[in-house]
A and B are shown apart, each in its own frame.
Chain A
């Protein structure tokens, strides 16, 4: 079945560090890919999405590029801030569905000043 794998369960960084969170997916065709962010006490909220090979999604300094060849959608940010501390979820909607989100395990990011 369709699945999303995030290799990092927890990431600890200092402010202004470079962030990479790895996301690989398994799905047929061209799923739509998403990054969601969840702050404490809230539900996940959309960072951005991409639906075509080589499409770049970006928001608030975060970015990821849809790579069908490597089935990846890695999240990157050049310089993190303490306010970026949150849980980040990679997700997809399979091409066989229209709205069923399939989530990865989530990556907890902690940024210290």
Chain B
């Protein structure tokens, strides 16, 4: 089936540094998402993105977070500066349509903030 890729699979950084997580969505998809899963906890929605704009975001999507997808390249999540509580697995997803459509998930990026 359609595949979403995430780069890197693991990232270790020091608190206060900037990090960019990259997502290569399914090629014809138009809607993009980020979810966060802290170890042992449930996956939580961060943000969705369509047509160059954030459509919905949760309280977890702090001011230090930003997303973009310049001209069909990677869909990125940038955190600047990082904090210890940002340590988690971040899952990217994409879908062809918006309303209740099937979301295809990547394998996740494990981010460790020291």
Q: Interface on chain A toward B: helix, strand, loop, or mixed SS? A: loop
Note all chain A residues with C-beta closer than 8 A to B104: 43, 45
A42, B107: Cβ atoms under 8 Å? Answer: yes
B43, A89: Cβ atoms under 8 Å? Answer: yes
Q: Given A97-B56, A98-B98, A100-B48, decide whether A46 and B42 contact each other with a Cβ distance below 8 A.
A: no
Note all chain B residues with C-beta closer than 8 A to A43: 4, 91, 93, 104-108
Residues of chain B at the chain A interface (Cβ within 8 Å): 1, 4, 31, 33, 35, 41-45, 48, 55-56, 58, 91, 93, 95, 98-108
Can you report 30 A-B residue pairs in the complex whose CB atoms are below 8 A from each other?
Answer: A36-B105, A41-B107, A42-B105, A43-B93, A43-B104, A43-B105, A43-B107, A44-B43, A44-B105, A45-B1, A45-B104, A45-B105, A46-B102, A49-B100, A51-B100, A89-B43, A93-B100, A98-B100, A99-B48, A99-B56, A99-B98, A100-B48, A100-B56, A100-B58, A101-B33, A101-B35, A102-B45, A103-B43, A104-B42, A106-B43
